[in-house]
Structure 1
């Protein structure tokens, strides 16, 4: 079988990366001791021993790609033990770099360690790719894993995991390669994967249909299958719906000038602009129409059948005891935490008088893909949304505390929020103005003004982490919607009584709604159904 043009481009990209890494390392080793600036911004800061070790692995990978154009392919030149040793050395380099991540606050971590992790990951990806069933223009390589029918799912998962860890853990650092190289590799790998699924040739990544319909065939997350894919959407069922008591002002899509006027001429000059729900301003987003995020089949198609890694929060709320974070495949996230809420195209009926009943306790811990820069990791999904024009206006500073204001952003900060019913973001405030876009499902949001900050009872430093932007008050517990977490005695009766007297506004966001949250406003967010939102921070 002849490799596709996309596969050929991917092999060429890998060959260039191995050559570049070797040349960069060789240049650093021959240049002598670096100055401080060079140390901070290049691999030189990792020391000559590690640079030399990385260089030797780059030579091995480079030579393997060079052998594609000779009569001796890499599998003939290297024994299985030699191949295993190269992979172990690359894993060792990445592990050494990763230990340095714990020695610094991430923003202070020298870039050299992040680049070292990224370059080791790139070489591992390139070397693993070589030992997949099809190599460049050449046919089946005898003795490799898998079969001519296709690349084993585990191999594809390993390729994806290697680069995803470089993105999530190391920020895909490196000026010459880094994120640009990884994004391009994922793009080419995905195109080859799609070609194979259509029978157009390319690297054979087989996704054989399982015997029964489910979200993924195993923990590796192969994704939805067969005819059931076309009928599945995320359920709109809401196990619990809080009442809206003090509705936020709601308007139809505003011209930019009117939104600017809303911020410039508030009803209360001391308070500043107030929250605003804006409807029908994002109706043309592909994520709501032609590339719908409510369709799990589409989301899986953009994540290699669910094989992309994502960080999720495990637990009801990030302030609860036992809360944690975990890296899992997107397919596993859907299978384990969203799968029970799948439905057909018709919405399921909701129980009558739901708002009067406390929500049931979930059988498994709630998992939330929360405040994650998903669109940096998955550029294809970024193309499904558009930054609202409102984020390019000139908002006012914080109304009561100038110390909270941040340096001006060049571009809005985008984060994804995706989870099952019952996800909770506890009462907190942010140092930016925020436009929250609801794409899938519904969310309840309650807001308190910055003038009520004293009655929000902010936390302090906890475990060395500054939590001053988060309240001690658990809104769900105070309202009787939730059972108090184990050993939750942080908020005194006096503070709860003071909090209950604080005025607030609230709303339920529907798909296609925008919620403007001014800087400094305390807000509590609760997912009512399966929900996918995007936040845009700007100043």
Structure 2
């Protein structure tokens, strides 16, 4: 059965290449020696000869080299060609590994290969003529794991045997919304596009109700077993630490199942958060459970309009997004759970003490929940707004509005950023 499975996998994955030559011609690395080795590995995936250990070691070392090059300097400065080369190398490794293990494939080897493809999706970049190459490859592998190894269930149980959906809302004094001295923002149920455009033009936050009640995610994602079934084997980047400005903050790659077990259900010493991740391009199956709100069609410059960037925010209670602003408009949809959001207008930036360093200049040094007025005396001049974002509600955050977000319980949010 294993040999037949691998033949089918190889056949399916090679068929998704639209233009075979693109993979070969898109390999662009300044190191000519590495480039030649990668070309040879590429040719091997179309040969009928046995794959040797030497070839696998070669593609592995090439991937290590390209990954090291990608990790030099700031992510925004990484050449697109280099990331596309990582995409190609990841695909080549997948096919070579399948061929090498064709007679003794098992679930652990398939999961290892799927992890390689996910890393390619996270670090690589879409190819011009094959933009969905790795996405489709990952779908094929993921489906094969569930179809051929059903006995390896991904379902997990809560240690307490309780509900896996939500925690009790935190009730510490700093989370008591009613005691926060701030203006509560407006809310409207199912506003028309014309009505919403008033807030859009005036650049003022607004809470919307009744806008995502029809999303399948509202019910499906509450069942954590559904998420594990759909994406439990997939590798995702998890933020470790309370907030990204902390010294002990870090990121770690792990499967979604590992994240759920370690950080979502169990109570670890540190907080894990699947934050600001484009999960839906990586796993299109989940994108079918949501929709793009029509409010995202409003634009200040229609000549440069593009589809919104969609990110997920999934984690336990207690996750914190430091006070910061984004350069784009944001609709934050709360699938389930509750979040507390504190907001400040761009005109109050002078009172919020942004970091001076370039990478954090959109982040405030002030914790608005417990401001140190000795260090930041002018903070008291800022006008604070507040919002309790409950399940099924959507918060419009205009571009460059400062916002501080705390998850009061287990929650799943989806953000739509658009120009």
TM-score in terms of structure 2 length: 0.89
**SS in structure 2 at match of 1:62:** coil
Say which one has the larger Rg. Answer: 1
For structure 1, which runs of at least 5 residues remain unmatched after alignment?
Answer: 29-41, 68-73, 136-140, 197-203, 210-222, 265-271, 341-361, 397-405, 479-490
Q: Please state if 1:457 is matched with 2:353.
A: yes
- For residues 436 and 46 of structure 1, the distance between their equivalents in structure 2, rounded to whole angstroms, comes to 42
CA shift, 1:301, in A, is: 1.1
- For residues 167 and 141 of structure 2, the distance between their equivalents in structure 1, rounded to whole angstroms, comes to 34
CA shift, 1:509, in A, is: 0.8
Q: How does 1:163-174 map to 2 (within 5 A)?
A: 163-171=117-125, 173-174=126-127
Q: Relative to structure 1, is the Cα distance of residues 176 and 53 closer, same or farther in structure 2, using a 3 angstrom cutoff?
A: farther
Q: How does 1:364-383 map to 2 (within 5 A)?
A: 364-383=269-288
CA shift, 1:104, in A, is: 4.5
- For residues 101 and 3 of structure 1, the distance between their equivalents in structure 2, rounded to whole angstroms, comes to 36
Please tell me the root mean square deviation across aligned C-alpha atoms, in Å.
2.9
Q: How does 1:312-327 map to 2 (within 5 A)?
A: 312-327=238-253
Q: Please state if 1:424 is matched with 2:320.
A: yes
CA shift, 1:471, in A, is: 0.6
Q: How does 1:18-57 map to 2 (within 5 A)?
A: 25=24, 42-57=26-41
Which residue is equivalent to 2:43? 59
**SS in structure 2 at match of 1:43:** coil
- For residues 22 and 320 of structure 2, the distance between their equivalents in structure 1, rounded to whole angstroms, comes to 49
Could you tell me which of 152, 158, 164 is aligned with 2:112?
158
CA shift, 1:108, in A, is: 3.1
- For residues 57 and 6 of structure 2, the distance between their equivalents in structure 1, rounded to whole angstroms, comes to 26
- For residues 501 and 314 of structure 1, the distance between their equivalents in structure 2, rounded to whole angstroms, comes to 33
Contact 1:18 1:61 in 2 (8 A): no
CA shift, 1:13, in A, is: 3.8
- For residues 18 and 321 of structure 2, the distance between their equivalents in structure 1, rounded to whole angstroms, comes to 46
Could you tell me which of 124, 128, 138 is aligned with 2:97?
128
Q: Relative to structure 1, is the Cα distance of residues 59 and 383 closer, same or farther in structure 2, using a 3 angstrom cutoff?
A: same
CA shift, 1:8, in A, is: 6.0
**SS in structure 2 at match of 1:520:** coil
Which residue is equivalent to 1:511? 391
Q: Relative to structure 1, is the Cα distance of residues 408 and 243 closer, same or farther in structure 2, using a 3 angstrom cutoff?
A: same
Q: Please state if 1:101 is matched with 2:70.
A: yes
Which residue is equivalent to 2:225? 297
Q: Please state if 1:391 is matched with 2:296.
A: yes
**How many pairs align?**
412
Contact 1:161 1:308 in 2 (8 A): yes
- For residues 90 and 18 of structure 2, the distance between their equivalents in structure 1, rounded to whole angstroms, comes to 15
CA shift, 1:102, in A, is: 3.2
Q: Please state if 1:468 is matched with 2:398.
A: no
- For residues 440 and 2 of structure 1, the distance between their equivalents in structure 2, rounded to whole angstroms, comes to 41
TM-score in terms of structure 1 length: 0.70
- For residues 323 and 61 of structure 1, the distance between their equivalents in structure 2, rounded to whole angstroms, comes to 40
**What do the CA deviations read for 1:47-72 (whole angstroms, capped 9, x no partner)?**
54223211222333322xx36xxxxx
Q: Relative to structure 1, is the Cα distance of residues 433 and 115 closer, same or farther in structure 2, using a 3 angstrom cutoff?
A: closer
- For residues 119 and 404 of structure 2, the distance between their equivalents in structure 1, rounded to whole angstroms, comes to 31
Contact 2:328 2:398 in 1 (8 A): yes
**SS in structure 2 at match of 1:368:** strand
Which residue is equivalent to 1:438? 334
Which residue is equivalent to 1:336? 262
- For residues 453 and 183 of structure 1, the distance between their equivalents in structure 2, rounded to whole angstroms, comes to 40
- For residues 423 and 449 of structure 1, the distance between their equivalents in structure 2, rounded to whole angstroms, comes to 23
